[in-house]
Amino acid sequence: MEFLKDNYLRPYGTGKDFKVDIDVPKTISKNYHELSRDVAELVYVNRQGKLYLLYSGGLDSEYVLSTFLALGINVIPVIIKLNPNYNDHDVGYAFDFCESKNLKPIIVDIDFDDFVTSGKILDLALEFKVGAYQLPCTFSVLEKLDGTLIMGSHGNPHMCLNEENDIWYVDEYEPIHKLLDFFKSRNLYGCPFFLVYTAEQYFSFLLDPAMKKLAEHGFRGKLGNNSTKYLVYNNGSGFDLANRKKFTGYENIEQSPIFQHPNLQFFKNQGKEWWGVYAIEYFKLIKKFTDNR
């Protein structure tokens, strides 16, 4: 199974030179949720062993899990606990949701302080040139699983407002693309970019009425689309996912003494070299799709 359908997202360069080539689909005949269901069915048909979903308890992974469950597909949630109690907020949502659906998740306990002080976090960061300190821990968990691994790691296409020119952009971040490098290097199998697996998904999300309204300044006061993406997830799904404040699961770490350790400060300093952002104006990207039809 391809990690991305037809390799339609192709990153290159690093840091200030980071860019992404984005292929556009010729047509989109379904809404975002219908396309997500198609991807879930494709993953199921092409599965190897059991299906595992890394489930943070955030809105993205809850949407992915809900999509599989709605299709009657058996998937095993994997919940990462960053001890001591660093990410209790998000995993609280995860445990509550699993209990409500009678799911028995796999719980992976990570002693995060030891992961940092032992140098494991830095070893993985240097191997894959990852500028985000959150990713090496996820890498270490993926290596423990054997089967078909599913993630919503890329998230939905992210939009942000440039307050200087009052224009909305779609942006791609360099660190998250290193996840595909990790899958390839470790011969892992699965769908790490479930939420944007196909170009049709990517653009159908951006063309959803809620995202078009956002780009047309219909939600004044918003600076990004994290607080409105639930409208796309609920469009046609019937999930009724609640809008809630976005957490990364790492907020407590950044307020803890461990955050001052040299192995974490590395990401604040040298790690910036691997933290590129590629941004394209929303309407220019949509025009590229329109012109391609």
| Residue corresponding to tokens 């660093």 | 86
* Burial (Cβ within 10 Å: 0-12, 13-18, ≥19) of residue 232: buried
**Per-residue pLDDT, 85:** 87
Among residues 171, 172, 180, the alpha carbon closest in space to that of 128 is found at 180
**pLDDT at position 57, please?**
87
Each residue's pLDDT tens digit, 176-202: 999 999 999 999 999 999 999 999 999
- pLDDT for 87 equals 87
- Asked if 116 contacts 145 with a C-beta cutoff of 8 angstroms, the reply is no
108-118 pLDDT, tens digit each: 999 999 999 99
**pLDDT, position 248:** 63
* Stretch (H or E) spanning 169: strand 167-173
Which of 3.40.50.620, 3.30.565.10, 3.40.250.10, 3.60.110.10 would CATH assign to domain 5-292?
3.40.50.620
Tokens for 73?
């597909």
Q: Which residues of the chain have pLDDT under 70?
A: 245-249
Q: Residue 55's closest CA among 68, 43, 42, 44?
A: 68
- C-alpha distances in Å from residue 16, one per residue of 11, 132, 272, 273: 13, 15, 10, 8
Q: 80, 233, 66, 58: which is closest to 145 by C-alpha?
A: 80
pLDDT of the residue at 250: 84
Domain ranges of the chain: 5-292
Helix (H, G, I), strand (E, B) or coil at 22: strand
167-173 and 158-162 beta bridge pairing: antiparallel
**Within a 13 Å sphere around the CA of 253, how many CA atoms are in the beta-carbon half?**
22
